[in-house]
């Protein structure tokens, strides 16, 4: 089952009716849990078993941590052992038996880890129930590809769920439609060009490869942003607020700005559960740079088991360290170089786009081939996919508008569907989505991580 299927629409319809009429908090929780497992069982039953076992394991570990809170060292040991076991499960599926990897494992394990750490830190209630923990880890709008919520942000919402209102429904439907547009009209259409070129990079000219790397830059963003918008919209209809995952990342002026706008929930998770525990910026300059670099390496390895992802993470780590060094030394008055925001934005965009090459290429050798052919402007088949131009232009228009009218922030505002104009514009948008949707592809890229 996925967000763009009829069975999902039926599930949501039934859920909305049930949640509208049922007021008992306990019953609502059972409904949410069952709905989540029905959704997830659509992928595979063994995967559902893994999800349930890991959820119960996490809750039991959390329970033990809370019981030993007075004995800090014991509680810490339980936390460490539990997280190690969770990581071993992830490593086993990611590096040993990738063919058996349950969908969404990389995402819900991060949430499970946050549950344990938050329990250890006392950020969530000691008496958090098993059902609450299971709903959190297997909450269906985010179980497949996030957003990666922290336990302390999600669990309180279970007891203060917002009721379904017209406004909430209207917002949810519109955000979901925007996500569907990003996925079906933009990302899947671009996948046509990206897949064919990355399958045989030796055939294409350097210019075509460069252009296709831009196509992938757009595809990845719209694919994941589309998914995230649908996830946030679904949760919103059900009365939950999930972390926003994207905020016009390609408008970012530098690497740190980029990570505040790209996959925000993961960046925030990494900052809180990796970067800060490593010492963050509290242990001196050199250690801060090392921590930044290591955090990016962890991010790369989380995405995939191949050297490509390691390289991607490492290069981003280098980018972040260089940027921090640049800012730090300027603060200390060691130089007075300043780059105009427009130029730094362009540089950052191309830096990020170039690093998506190893992220997408089949292996390190292909990444090298693509880099080399682009840099040497190697002749080959000339292929400039027209939709890349169109969607680049669309992105530029949205970003331009955001810069001028919304301080560089995502300008999405729901229409008022009470008004006739809102209804007409939204209907036209839906028709355009149906007309221009591409139905040849389908899988969400990040579901593969």
Partner 1 sequence: MPDERAVYALEGYSFAKSDKRGYVNRDLPLEDTYYLVAGASHTEGLFLPVKDRYSDVLNTMLGGDDTLKVYNIGRSGNFFSVVTQHFDGILGEFPDARAIIIETDTLAYDTKAWRDSMIQAGYDGTETLDSKIAAMSQRERLVMDIKKYLPLVRVLHKQYLTKMDNTVEDDGIRVTDAYYGEFDEDYRKALDELMAFLRSKTDKQLIIIYHPAVSIEKDGSMKLLTNGCEDIFAGACEQNDIDFIDMSPYFEEGYENRHIVPYGFYNTTMGAGHTNKEAHRMMAEAIYEVLEK
Q: Which residues are identified as catalytic?
A: 303
Q: Is 267 exposed, middle or buried (0-12, 13-18, 19+ CB in 10 A)?
A: buried
Please identify, among the stretches 46-54, 88-96, 276-284, 431-439, the one whose residues bind partner 1 according to the rule CB under 8 A: 431-439
DSSP bridge partners of 381: 204
Cα separation values, 54 from 113, 141, 155, 202, 448, Å: 11, 18, 17, 44, 19
Cα separation values, 266 from 1, 256, 328, 366, 441, Å: 24, 14, 25, 27, 26
Q: How many CB atoms lie within 10 A of CB 273?
A: 21
* CB of 86 or CB of 388, closer to partner 1: 388
HSE-CB for 186 with a 13 A CA cutoff: 28
- Nearest CA to 9 out of 233, 225, 220 is that of 233
Q: According to CB under 8 A, which residues from 172 to 211 bind partner 1?
A: 192-193, 195-196, 199-203, 205
User: Taking the alpha carbons of 427, 21, 143, 101 in that order, is the dihedral positive or negative?
Assistant: negative
- What is the closest distance, in whole angstroms, from the C-beta atom of residue 296 to partner 1 in the complex? 31
- What is the closest distance, in whole angstroms, from the C-beta atom of residue 376 to partner 1 in the complex? 14
When asked if residue 428 is in the footprint of partner 1 (CB under 8 A), the reply is no
* CB of 278 or CB of 364, closer to partner 1: 364
Angular region, 330: left φ>0, alpha ψ -120 to 50, beta rest: alpha
- What is the closest distance, in whole angstroms, from the C-beta atom of residue 232 to partner 1 in the complex? 24
- What is the closest distance, in whole angstroms, from the C-beta atom of residue 364 to partner 1 in the complex? 15
Q: Which residue from 163, 286, 333, 440 is in contact with partner 1, where contact means CB under 8 A? A: 440
Q: According to CB under 8 A, which residues from 53 to 82 bind partner 1?
A: none
* CB of 203 or CB of 294, closer to partner 1: 203
- What is the closest distance, in whole angstroms, from the C-beta atom of residue 298 to partner 1 in the complex? 32
Count of residues interacting with partner 1 (CB under 8 A) = 25
DSSP character at residue 70: T
* CB of 30 or CB of 389, closer to partner 1: 389
Cα separation values, 433 from 65, 178, 300, Å: 49, 9, 34
Binding mask 358-397 for partner 1 (x = CB under 8 A): ---------------------xxxxxxxxx----------
* CB of 275 or CB of 426, closer to partner 1: 426
Please identify, among the stretches 166-174, 268-276, 305-313, 435-443, the one whose residues bind partner 1 according to the rule CB under 8 A: 435-443
HSE-CB for 33 with a 13 A CA cutoff: 18
- What is the closest distance, in whole angstroms, from the C-beta atom of residue 209 to partner 1 in the complex? 12
* CB of 199 or CB of 423, closer to partner 1: 199
Token pair of 27, please?
A: 């019953």
Q: How many CB atoms lie within 10 A of CB 440?
A: 9
- What is the closest distance, in whole angstroms, from the C-beta atom of residue 222 to partner 1 in the complex? 17
* CB of 169 or CB of 369, closer to partner 1: 369
| H helix runs in 95-243, sequence order | 105-121, 130-138, 140-143, 151-159, 166-180, 188-199, 206-238
- What SS3 class is residue 381? strand
User: Rule CB under 8 A: which residues touch partner 1?
Assistant: 192-193, 195-196, 199-203, 205, 379-387, 431, 434-435, 437, 439-440
């Amino acid at each position: 089952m996925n967000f763009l299927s009829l069975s999902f629409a039926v599930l949501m319809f039934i859920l909305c009716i049930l949640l509208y009429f049922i007021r008992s908090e306990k019953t609502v929780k059972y409904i949410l849990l069952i709905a989540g497992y029905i959704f997830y069982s659509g992928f595979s039953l063994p995967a559902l078993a893994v999800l349930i076992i890991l959820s119960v394991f996490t809750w039991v570990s959390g329970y033990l941590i809370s019981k030993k809170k007075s004995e800090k060292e014991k509680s810490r040991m339980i936390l460490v052992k539990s997280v190690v076991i969770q990581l071993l499960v992830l490593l086993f599926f990611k590096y040993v038996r990738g063919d058996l990897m349950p969908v969404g494992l990389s995402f819900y394990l991060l949430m499970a880890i946050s549950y344990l750490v938050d329990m250890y830190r006392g950020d969530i209630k000691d008496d958090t129930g098993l059902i609450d923990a299971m709903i959190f880890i297997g909450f269906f709008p985010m179980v497949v590809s996030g957003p990666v919520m922290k336990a302390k942000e999600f669990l309180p919402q279970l007891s203060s769920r917002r009721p379904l209102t017209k406004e909430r429904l209207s917002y949810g439907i519109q955000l979901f439609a925007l996500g569907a547009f990003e996925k079906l009209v933009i990302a899947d259409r671009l996948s046509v060009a990206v897949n064919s070129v990355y399958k045989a990079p030796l055939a294409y000219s350097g210019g075509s490869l460069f252009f296709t790397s831009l196509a992938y830059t757009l595809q990845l963003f719209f694919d994941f942003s589309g998914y995230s918008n649908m996830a946030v919209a679904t949760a919103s209809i059900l009365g939950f607020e999930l972390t926003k995952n994207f905020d016009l990342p390609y408008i970012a002026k530098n690497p740190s700005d980029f990570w505040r706008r790209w996959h925000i929930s993961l960046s925030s998770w990494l900052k809180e559960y990796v970067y800060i525990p490593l010492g963050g910026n509290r242990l001196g300059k050199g250690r801060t740079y090392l921590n930044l670099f290591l955090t990016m390496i962890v991010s790369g390895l989380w995405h995939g088991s191949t050297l490509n992802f390691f390289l991607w993470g490492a290069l981003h780590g280098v980018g972040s360290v260089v940027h921090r060094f640049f800012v730090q030394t300027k603060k200390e008055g060691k130089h007075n170089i300043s780059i105009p925001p427009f130029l730094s934005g362009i540089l950052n965009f191309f830096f990020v786009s170039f690093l998506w090459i190893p992220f997408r290429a089949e292996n390190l050798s292909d990444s090298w081939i693509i880099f080399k052919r682009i840099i040497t402007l190697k002749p080959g088949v000339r292929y400039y996919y027209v939709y890349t131009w169109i969607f680049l232009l669309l992105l530029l228009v949205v970003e331009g508008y955001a810069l001028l009218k919304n301080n560089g922030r995502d300008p999405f505002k729901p229409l008022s569907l009470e008004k006739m104009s809102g209804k007409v514009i939204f209907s036209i948008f839906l028709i355009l989505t149906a007309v221009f949707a591409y139905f040849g592809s389908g899988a969400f890229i990040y579901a593969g991580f």
